[in-house]
Amino acid sequence: MSRGIDGDMRKPSVGLGLAVATLAVGGCATPALAYGPPGTPDTAATGRPPVAGWGDAPLRPSRPVRSRVERPGGRAAVPGADPIVASRTAVTAASAGPGAQSPVQQQILALVNQRRREAGCDPITLDRRLIEAANRHAADMARRGYFDHESPSGEKAGSRVRDAGYVWRRYGENIAKGQASPFRVMADWMRSPGHRENILDCRLDQMGVGLALAADDTPYWVQEFATPP
């Protein structure tokens, strides 16, 4: 089994990004990423494994990735069930839909806002453009078999968010792969200081979640956070 998380971070007060090194958290690698105003150069440090987003690419691409994931048993989430309780259920193609009301979006939203409430932050809301950007990146990662904030063609997180139609003043991105459920990926992100900082940044008030399953069923996860001007 191989799991991972990754993230990058950049603050408005500095001109360059603060890259969070890849961590081994329960066998997972996770990168995190955060950026300040659009005037800040959109560059990301290299050499870190990233995690994916979701969109135009197929949910189950023909090209497999090498990671393998342990898949705990469990029934599909029941509509109307408590999203935090349901978040322990292993993801499936059906639960990974791109809509804001899909189980994965609602479960991670509930987990994020639970943590933000404990930290004294206002609740975050879902934005369809951030969902689109996150899903597109997750699908690209799963299809092409890479794990990074920057695609092989050079597309970076800030550009993905803008291309989805979101004009941002500040944004952050968390990525991960291999975690079988929303609960597990959030637990890994919260154990990593850089990823936790994105989740608990009270200045970020909108979010989108991306999820794609590779041909071997490895989940690729992306969180896009942003604040409009």
- Show the domain range for 152: 103-227
19: in domain: no
Grade residue 99 by pLDDT with cuts at 50, 70 and 90: confident
124: in domain: yes
* Cα gap 217→142, rounded to integer Å: 9
45: in domain: no
Instruction: Give φ, ψ of 24 to 5 degrees.
Output: -100, 105
66: in domain: no
* Cα gap 3→140, rounded to integer Å: 17
Residue 12 has pLDDT above 60, yes or no: no
pLDDT, tens digit (0-9, with 9 covering 90-100), for 150-197:
999 999 999 999 999 999 999 999 999 999 999 999 999 999 999 999
Which residue type, as a one-letter code, is found at position 152? Answer: P
Number of helices followed by number of strands (H, E) in the chain? 6, 8
pLDDT, tens digit (0-9, with 9 covering 90-100), for 44-85:
322 233 333 323 233 333 232 222 222 333 333 445 578 899
44: in domain: no
Which range is least confidently modeled, 30-44, 49-63, 98-112, 215-229?
Answer: 49-63
DSSP state at residue 42: -
DSSP reduced 3-state for 174 = strand
Q: Number of folded domains in the chain?
A: 1
* Cα gap 199→189, rounded to integer Å: 8
Which residue type, as a one-letter code, is found at position 60? Answer: R
116: in domain: yes
Kindly give, in sequence order, each residue whose CB lies less than 8 Å from that of residue 82, ignoring residues fewer than 6 positions away.
none
Cα–Cα distances in Å, from 155 out to 92, 96, 148? 28, 23, 10
Around Cβ 194, how many Cβ atoms within 10 Å?
24
182: in domain: yes
Around Cβ 169, how many Cβ atoms within 10 Å?
15
207: in domain: yes
Of the candidates 19, 3, 22, the residue with the CA atom closest to the CA atom of residue 11: 19
Q: How far is CA 113 from the centre of its chain?
A: 15
Domain holding 168: CATH number?
Answer: 3.40.33.10
DSSP state at residue 56: S
